[in-house]
Amino acid sequence: MIEDFVNDVINKHIVRYNLLFGFVISSEIRKYVKEGVYAFQLIYNENQQVILVKPLDWVKVIQNSLSDAHYGQKLWSYDGGEKFQYSSIETLKLDIQKIRELKLDKILA
């Protein structure tokens, strides 16, 4: 269930930002999620191919809701709101509430 949710989030990110994810990158994200990591910086090349995934502290990953400052996208901070300098393209933050619900459903099933 959680793996399906993660795959769905990855697929939506791929479509929305026209990125290319290989199987290894998707597997790496799923592995991190199993370990309790729910936010990532996606490093990609000039061909929009994601080549590296950096795990982030979910609590410190914050989106600036005040303005669309980067090509019509809101900027993200990875340090709890000190500097907003990362784009939505390179930021993948999973809905932790949804993951908790899925885990609870699995326990109750």
User: Is the pTM higher than 0.85?
Assistant: yes
Residue 30, both tokens = 């799923």
Q: Model confidence at 65, in pLDDT bands (50, 70, 90)?
A: confident
Across 97-108, b (16+ Cβ under 10 Å) vs e yields eebeebeeeeee
When divided into structural domains, the chain yields a total of: 1
Q: How confident is the model at residue 46 (pLDDT cuts 50, 70, 90)?
A: very high
Q: Which two tokens stand for residue 4?
A: 């399906």
Burial class (CB in 10 A: 0-12, 13-18, 19+), 41: middle
State which residues form the domain around 87. Answer: 2-108
